[in-house]
Amino acid sequence: MRATTTALAALLASAAALPATAQVQERTITISNGVAETHPVGNGVQAMQACFDERTGGTWTLNAFWSAALGNDLDATQALRSGTQEMVVTSTSPLVGIEPALGVFDLPFLFADDQEADAILDGEFGAMISEKMEAHGLINLAYWENGFRNLTNSVRPVTKLEDLEGMRVRVMQNDIFLDTFSNLGTNAMPMAFGEVFTALETGTIDAQENPYVTIDTSQFSEVQEYLTETRHAYTPFMVLFSKAIFDTYSPEEQQILRDCAMEGQAVQRQASRELSQQSLERVQEAGMKFNQLEPTEMERIREAVATVYETHADTIGRDVVEAMQAALDELRSGG
């Protein structure tokens, strides 16, 4: 009798667990991005997979594609909107044509440091931007880090504003970056990231701007001679998921996606910041000549692009720009 009772209790316990288990199906999730697997995004993806393994008992697999193998960030994002791909890790900048409010992150010299960026992205402002993405068929699971952007070129060292005059600089495909670099006197050329190395190698362009880690992992040191620390913009990554597919997932599965993207965020941001200095050292060892600008020259550059805020306020949305400035003011005042 005791054995029968024990077996019955085990059967009932097993049955009670079934509904929760049944809410998690076996899945293969395609995720793409434009960077190389050696980029900190790779660390974030690995952390997500480890989280999936733990939360789903190994029934979810992330099928990752690197270096724009499935198309550039905009193309991949459009695939999410149509429901033909699950995930993409993309910079916000190429997506301003989908959601103009994302242009706020491209405004020059917006954040002073990593801590400001984290506070804004992970706070109410970031949540408001994520909510806007849902209207476009996109779920933002988390903000990861691309980082502060710096200038490389193959023409001359940039030590003053005038050194930028006439330089053919690749910029991301949006009007704010185009306007920013035009104001600096360059010949700004919008281009998808996947085309940049070849364009630099063939001399189609002279220069590009990206965070140190991207400069390193993309091997731009092979085709660029000079690196100038400008920190002119901070670009977030968004971990986007197709809303059409997300809506077919159970609430438990949706929560797993959100939780694991946040676990990936912590690992990815830490890796990004640890690797940034290492990347700077590596590209110098590879032969790039590095310089920082004098404070007076940095101020001249800031003044040259100051009008970009007003020029693009209506396109971004004045309410969005004002909300960002209010959030920064509160943060900087200790509020």
The pTM assigned to this predicted structure is: 0.87
Determine the pLDDT at residue 86.
Answer: 98
Q: Which residues of the chain have pLDDT under 50?
A: 1-20
Determine the pLDDT at residue 172.
Answer: 85
Determine the pLDDT at residue 3.
Answer: 47
Length of the chain in residues, anyone?
335
Pick from 145, 139, 264, 129: which is nearest to 212 by CA? 145
Taking a C-beta distance cutoff of 8 angstroms, is the pair 172, 94 a contact? Answer: yes
Find the DSSP H helices in 114-203.
Answer: 114-121, 124-134, 175-183, 196-202
Q: Which two tokens stand for residue 80?
A: 């999410």
Q: How far apart are alpha carbons 106 and 89 in whole angstroms? A: 17
Determine the pLDDT at residue 109.
Answer: 97
Q: Give strand ranges (E) for the chain.
A: 27-33, 60-65, 87-91, 138-148, 150-153, 168-171, 187-190, 207-210, 226-229, 234-242, 289-292
Q: How far apart are alpha carbons 51 and 57 in whole angstroms? A: 10
Task: Tell me the pLDDT tens digit for each residue of 301-319.
Answer: 999 999 999 999 999 999 9
Pick from 84, 89, 86: which is nearest to 33 by CA? 89
Determine the pLDDT at residue 22.
Answer: 62
Sorted by where each starts, the structural domains of the chain and their CATH numbers stand as: 27-99+113-145+236-278 (3.40.190.170), 150-233+279-332 (3.40.190.170)
Q: Which two tokens stand for residue 188?
A: 């700004």
Determine the pLDDT at residue 12.
Answer: 41
Determine the pLDDT at residue 192.
Answer: 85
Task: Tell me the pLDDT tens digit for each residue of 18-38.
Answer: 334 569 999 999 999 999 898
